Structure 1
C-alpha cells in the first residue's frame, strides 16, 4: 500500500484545516457551488433566446432545464456513496472538471439535441459538486466553526439565486446565450487548480461500490423527479402515475436490497438516527415552502396585484437577499445554540411571512410587499445553516458522503414537490391558486417547525 493510500485510509486525525489553507479550500468549494447553483437560474432566463436561435418550440426547449435537473438529482446519492470509497475530494474535483468541460460543450452546441447532451453532462458534473459539498465543508472547517462554514455554504447558494437573473440578463444584453455557459470556463479552471492544492484528502471506506444499488437509486430518484415534473406540466395522468409508481417500486426494491448494508446508497442506516431523520424531513418541508413560493409569487404579483414583470423581479429579490445576510449569522449561532430552537424559530418566521403575503391587500404599497418577503427570507436563512449542521453532525464521519448526498437530495426534492404543488393549485382553482399555494406553504412551514422542535427531545446519537 502506498503512503498516500495509507494516509487516505487512516482515521481523521485533524479537526479541520489550518486557517490559510481553509480559506483557499473554501474559495474552491464555494466557487464551484456558486457555478452549479447559478446555472439553474440563468438557464431559465435564456430559454426564449435558445428557442429562437435553435428553432425549437417552447415545449421542447424546456428540456434544457429538465435534463439538467434530472441528471443532477438522479446521481446525487450514488456519487455521494462513491465519494466515501474513493474520497470526496476526487468526486468534487472530477465533477467540477466535467461541469467546466460540459459548459464549453453547451457554449458550442449547434442544435437542441447537442445542447441537451451537453446539459446532461453538465448536470452530472453539478451532481459531483453538490453530492459531496457539505461533506467537504465538514472536513475543511474545525468542529467549533462548522456552523459558520455551513452558513457560508447557504449564503453562497442564496446569493447565486439572487444574482442569477441579473447576471443572465446582463450577459444577454451584450452577447448571445452561449456566453451564459462560456462564462463558467475560467472560473471552473481556477477552482480546479486551487482545489487540487488545498482540498483535504478524506478517509476512504473499505467496502466496494454497489453498482446495482446505485443504478436503482438513480432510476428511482430520476423517475420521481420526472413524474413530479410531468404532473407540474399537466402531462397525461396515466404517464404521471406510471412514473411515480415505478419510482416508488424501485425505491422499495432498493430498501429491501440494502437493508443490511453497512453503507447503503440510500442512507437508510442514517435514518435510524432520530436527529438525522427529523433534520432531513424538516429540510424537505422548508424547501417545499420555497418551491411553492417561488412558483406562485410571480403569478400572484402580476395576475392578482397587477404588477409588471420588472416590478415582480424587484419584489422577488428581498427573499434570497435576506437569506444571504442571515445564513452566516445563523451559522455562527448554531455553533452555540441547538438547531431545534434555531430551525423552529426560522420556520415559524417563514410560515408567518407566507400567511402575511397571502393576506396582502388588493393594492399594497411597495414596502408592504418588501417587508413581508424579507420576513420569509429571514426565516428561511435562520433555518438553513443550523439544520445543515444538525444533519451532518448527526452522521458518523465515515458516512459524511451519504449525509451530504441527502442534504442536496432533500433540497432539490423539496423544491420540486413545492413547484408541482403550486402548479396543482393553479390547475384546481385558476388564478386564485397563487393564494392557495401561499397558504399551503404556511402549512408546510408549520409542519417543519414542529419537526424541528422535536429534535430537542429526540435521542441524540454521536456523529463521530
Structure 2
C-alpha cells in the first residue's frame, strides 16, 4: 500500500503526501453511495410497516435511487469538464449528505422518495467521475494499482452493506441508516474540497438536448427492465423500452451533430476502449444474473433463510477484496487484457460450477464455487478498468469514467431483468446461471480481441517513460 503514496522523479498526478487525503475523500464518497443500496434493501420491510406503505410502493425507496443515479451518470461526467471535477464531486457528496438527512427525517413515503431521488443525484455526481479522479491523483505508472484500490472499496461496500443494515436495525430504527451518512458525508465533502486536484472548467456550451434524451433513454430502460423483473404487464414494459429506444436514437443523432456532445462518439473509435466497455458490460450482465439467480437457488431450492443467503454470498465480494488490489498492481506490469481474460475464465468456470449445484449440495460445495467467481471477477475488473481509462486521452477521462459507471449499472440491471424473464418463462434457476456463463463467454471473446492492442500500448508507454 505504501508504494501508492511514494513519489518518483517525473511522476504526474499529486505528490505522494497529498494523495492520501485525496484518496480518503474518494473512498468515503464511494463507500456511502455503494453501501447505501444494499444497506437500505434490508430495511424495506421495516420502512413499509412503519410508514404504512405496501411492499410494491416501498420498493421504490431503492428503485428511485438507482434510476436517478443511472440516468445522470453521463450527464455529470460531461458537466464535470465544464465546472471542474473537484467542484462537482464535492457538490455531489454535499447533496447526498443533505438528502440523507432529509430521508432520515421523512414523515411519510412521498417525502422519503423525494429525498431518495436527490440522494441518487448526489451519488451519480460522485460515481460518474470517481475513476477519472484516480487517474488525476496517481501517476500513470500506478493507475492499475489505484483502480485495484477502487475495486476493493466497491466490493467491500457491497459486502458490508447488508451486515451494517442488519446490525443497525437490531438496535435502532430505520432513519438511523440514513443519518449515518451525515457525519461521514460532511467529512468526505470537507476532504474533497481541500484535497482533490484543482482544475479549471472549460468554457463550452453544454449539450442540454443530449442530456434530456439521455435521461429519457436511461429512465425508460431501467423502469422497463425493473418491470420485466417484477411481473409488470408486458405491454407496459414494452412501452417503457420503446421510450428508451426512441430516446436512444435521438440521443445518438444529437451526439453526431452537437458541437460539444454529451458523449463524444469518437471515444469508441479506439478499439481498446470499445472492447473493454463491451467486456465490462457483458461481465456485469453475468454477475447480475448470478446474484439474483443464487438468491432463488439458496432460498427456494436449498431452504436457506434470507440471513443465511446473505452469508452464502460473502465469498464473492471478499475474494474481490483480496484479489482486486493485486490484479490492479499486476496490470501496471503485465498485459492487462491477458489478466482480464484469465479472470473471465475463472468467472466462467465458477458460474458453470454453480449451475451444477442441486438442492442437496453441501454448504461448502457452494462456497468454493462462489469464491471462484469472486476470484475471477476480482482478477478481471481492475485490469479491464485500467484499459478503459488508459486508452483515452487524459482530457477525456471524465467521459470515459461516466461510460464505465453507466456500463456497470446497465449490465447489472439487464442481468436482473433477464432473471425475471427466465423465471417467468418457467426456466429452472440453473438455466439462468448457464445464461450468465454465456454472457461471460461473450465477454471473454471481447477481452481476447484486444490482447495484442493492449500489449503494444503497454510497450510504447514503457519506452516513453524511459
Measured against the shorter chain, the TM-score band is over 0.9
Q: Residues 317-356 of structure 1: matches in 2 within 5 Å?
A: 317-356=314-353
Cα distance, 1:188–1:156 mapped onto 2, change above 3 Å: same
- Does residue 438 in structure 1 map to residue 422 in structure 2? no
CA distance in 1, matches of 2:82, 2:336: 30
Match of 1:193 in 2: 190
Residue 259 of structure 1 aligns to a residue whose secondary structure is helix
Consecutive unaligned residues in structure 1, runs of 5 or more: 1-12
CA distance in 2, matches of 1:43, 1:364: 31
Check conservation: 1:84, 1:400, Cα contact below 8 A: no
Check conservation: 1:42, 1:168, Cα contact below 8 A: yes
- Does residue 306 in structure 1 map to residue 303 in structure 2? yes
- Does residue 171 in structure 1 map to residue 171 in structure 2? no
CA distance in 1, matches of 2:222, 2:241: 9
Match of 1:456 in 2: 451
Residue 451 of structure 2 aligns to a residue whose secondary structure is coil
Match of 1:6 in 2: none
- Does residue 101 in structure 1 map to residue 98 in structure 2? yes
Check conservation: 1:255, 1:266, Cα contact below 8 A: no
CA distance in 2, matches of 1:191, 1:86: 19
Match of 1:8 in 2: none
- Report deviation, 1:309: 2.9
Q: Deviations over 1:137-193 (max 9, x none)?
A: 110111011111100111101000101000000100110000000000001101111
Cα distance, 1:60–1:291 mapped onto 2, change above 3 Å: same
Check conservation: 2:331, 2:339, Cα contact below 8 A: yes
Match of 1:19 in 2: 16
Residue of 289, 292, 297 corresponding to 1:295: 292
- Does residue 46 in structure 1 map to residue 43 in structure 2? yes
- Does residue 123 in structure 1 map to residue 120 in structure 2? yes
CA distance in 2, matches of 1:176, 1:103: 15
Check conservation: 1:262, 1:269, Cα contact below 8 A: no
Q: Normalized against structure 1, the TM-score is what?
A: 0.94
Residue of 146, 149, 159 corresponding to 1:149: 146
- Does residue 272 in structure 1 map to residue 269 in structure 2? yes
Q: Deviations over 1:204-246 (max 9, x none)?
A: 3342211111111111111111111111112121111111111
CA distance in 1, matches of 2:424, 2:348: 23
Match of 2:5 in 1: none
- Does residue 64 in structure 1 map to residue 80 in structure 2? no
CA distance in 1, matches of 2:438, 2:175: 41
Match of 1:408 in 2: 405
CA root-mean-square deviation: 1.7
CA distance in 1, matches of 2:108, 2:145: 44
Check conservation: 2:207, 2:258, Cα contact below 8 A: no
Match of 1:9 in 2: none
Q: Which moved more, 1:247-256 or 1:71-80?
A: 247-256
Check conservation: 1:146, 1:335, Cα contact below 8 A: yes
Residue of 110, 114, 131 corresponding to 2:107: 110
Cα distance, 1:262–1:373 mapped onto 2, change above 3 Å: farther
CA distance in 2, matches of 1:100, 1:44: 19
- Report deviation, 1:263: 4.7
Match of 1:5 in 2: none
- Report deviation, 1:260: 4.4
Match of 1:256 in 2: 253
Check conservation: 2:216, 2:243, Cα contact below 8 A: no
Aligned positions, number: 450
CA distance in 1, matches of 2:138, 2:371: 30
Q: Deviations over 1:355-395 (max 9, x none)?
A: 00111244222221111110000000111111111001111
Match of 1:359 in 2: 356
- Report deviation, 1:20: 1.1
Q: Which moved more, 1:153-162 or 1:210-219?
A: 210-219
- Does residue 159 in structure 1 map to residue 162 in structure 2? no
Residue of 230, 234, 243 corresponding to 1:237: 234
